[in-house]
Amino acid sequence: MAKKMIIEDLARMTAKWFDGVQGQIGGVQGQIGEVKSEMKKGFECVDKRLDRIENLILRDHIQRIERLEDTVLQLKVKVGMR
């Protein structure tokens, strides 16, 4: 009888411990979800900034190429190739 009570006590303590662990896991999962959400927002901001930088660089390169083309055309006219 005493062994049966000890086993039942152990079973109750184990079940209580698992309930506590499950609660902790649920809390950690919630925190992970919050961190993922914050990271997603942060990466969206970084993506926007990189897109802006990329567009600025692309625009600058287009302008420089157009100026070079104009200069080459002027040189061709002066040399008589056009």
Q: How far apart are CA 58 and CA 73, in angstroms?
A: 22
Please choose, from the candidates 17, 9, 36, 37, the residue with its C-alpha nearest in 3D space to the C-alpha of residue 25. Answer: 17
pLDDT at 3 over 80: no
φ, ψ dihedrals at 69, nearest 5°: -60, -40
Reported in sequence order, the residue ranges of the chain that DSSP labels E, i.e. its strands, are: none
Per-residue pLDDT tens digits for 7-26: 888 888 998 888 888 888 88
3-state secondary structure of 80: coil
If you ran DSSP here, which 8-state letter would residue 82 be given? -
End-to-end CA distance of the chain: 111
Check residue 26 and give its pLDDT: 86
Q: For 31-82, what is each residue's pLDDT tens digit?
A: 999 999 999 999 999 999 999 999 999 999 999 999 999 999 999 999 988 7
**Size (the chain), residues:** 82
The yes-or-no verdict on residue 1 having pLDDT over 70 is no
